Amino acid sequence: MAYQVLARKWRPRNFPEMVGQSHVLQALTNALDSNRLHHAYLFTGTRGVGKTTIARILAKSLNCEKGVTAYPCGQCLACREIDEGRFVDLIEVDAASRTRVEDTRDLLDNVQYAPTRGRYKVYLIDEVHMLSTHSFNALLKTLEEPPPHVKFLLATTDPQKLPPTILSRCLQFNLKRITQEHIAQHLIQIVEEEGIGYESQALRLLAQAADGSLRDALSLLDQAIAYGAGKLSSADVGQMLGTVEKSTVVELIKMLAVFDAPGLLQNIARLAEQNPDFVTVLGDILSLLQQIALAQVMPTTVDVNHSDGEAISQLAQQMSPEDVQLFYQIGLLGRRDLPLSVEPRSGFEMVMLRMLAFRPKNMTGMQPQPAKATEAMPHSPITTAAAHPPPVTKAAVSVATEAVKPDEPSQSLKSHDEWESTIQSLEFQSRLVKQLALNCQFQKRDGNIWYLMLPSDSKILLSAEKELEKVVRKHYGQAHSIIIENPKKKETSGKQQHLQETPEEYAVKVIENDRFIIYMKEHCDAKVSNITPLEPLSVNSEQPIVVSEQ
Res 401: pLDDT: 38
The arithmetic mean of pLDDT across residues 224-228, rounded, is: 91
Res 397: pLDDT: 36
Percentage of residues in the chain having pLDDT higher than 70: 82
**What are the distances in angstroms from CA 329 to CA 186, 239, 282, 286, 492?**
33, 28, 12, 9, 61
Confidence of residue 502 (pLDDT cuts 50, 70, 90): low
Higher pLDDT, 403 or 187: 187
Res 3: pLDDT: 80
Res 473: pLDDT: 85
pTM for the structure as a whole? 0.57
Residue 199, number of CB atoms within 10 A of its CB: 16
Which stretches of 338-452 are DSSP H helices?
Answer: 344-357, 370-376, 384-387, 394-404, 416-423, 431-439
Higher pLDDT, 531 or 405: 531
Res 534: pLDDT: 58
Cα separation of 460 and 135, whole Å?
A: 71
Q: Which helix (H) or strand (E) holds 441?
A: strand 441-446
**What are the distances in angstroms from CA 462 to CA 222, 368, 465, 523?**
77, 50, 5, 20
* Local structure of 512: helix, strand or coil: helix
Res 167: pLDDT: 92
Cα separation of 322 and 361, whole Å?
A: 11
The arithmetic mean of pLDDT across residues 510-527, rounded, is: 75
How crowded is the C-beta side of 407, counted as CA atoms within 13 Å? 12
**40 pLDDT higher than 90:** yes
**1 pLDDT higher than 80:** no
Bond into 344 cis (ω within 30): no
Res 365: pLDDT: 38
Res 396: pLDDT: 39
**304 pLDDT higher than 80:** no
Strand-strand pairing, 197-198 and 121-126: unpaired
Cα separation of 297 and 278, whole Å?
A: 29
Confidence of residue 151 (pLDDT cuts 50, 70, 90): very high
Res 545: pLDDT: 47
Range list of β-strands (E), 26-70? 40-44
Higher pLDDT, 426 or 543: 426
**289 pLDDT higher than 50:** yes
CA dihedral 209, 211, 215, 221 (to 10 degrees): 10
The arithmetic mean of pLDDT across residues 82-95, rounded, is: 90
Res 527: pLDDT: 78
Cα separation of 398 and 11, whole Å?
A: 62
Which distant-in-sequence residues (6+ apart) come within 8 Å of 522 by Cβ? 430, 431, 432
Tally the residues of the chain.
Answer: 550
The arithmetic mean of pLDDT across residues 301-308, rounded, is: 70
Higher pLDDT, 435 or 126: 126
Report pLDDT digits (tens) over 305-336: 666 788 888 899 899 999 999 999 999 999 99
Residue 382, number of CB atoms within 10 A of its CB: 20
**537 pLDDT higher than 60:** no
Cα separation of 193 and 180, whole Å?
A: 20
The arithmetic mean of pLDDT across residues 258-278, rounded, is: 89
In this structure, what DSSP letter does residue 37 have?
Answer: -
Confidence of residue 425 (pLDDT cuts 50, 70, 90): confident
Q: Which domains does the chain have, with CATH numbers?
A: 6-174 (3.40.50.300), 180-241 (1.10.8.60), 246-385 (1.20.272.10), 416-497 (3.30.300.150), 501-549 (no CATH)
**505 pLDDT higher than 80:** no
Res 500: pLDDT: 52
Average predicted confidence (pLDDT) for the chain: 80
**390 pLDDT higher than 70:** no
Report pLDDT digits (tens) over 453-488: 888 777 777 888 888 888 888 888 888 888 888 655
Angle among Cα 363, 366, 371 to the nearest 5 degrees reads 105
The arithmetic mean of pLDDT across residues 84-96, rounded, is: 89
Confidence of residue 400 (pLDDT cuts 50, 70, 90): very low
Res 533: pLDDT: 64
Res 420: pLDDT: 74
91-100, 164-173, 301-310, 340-349: least confident range: 301-310
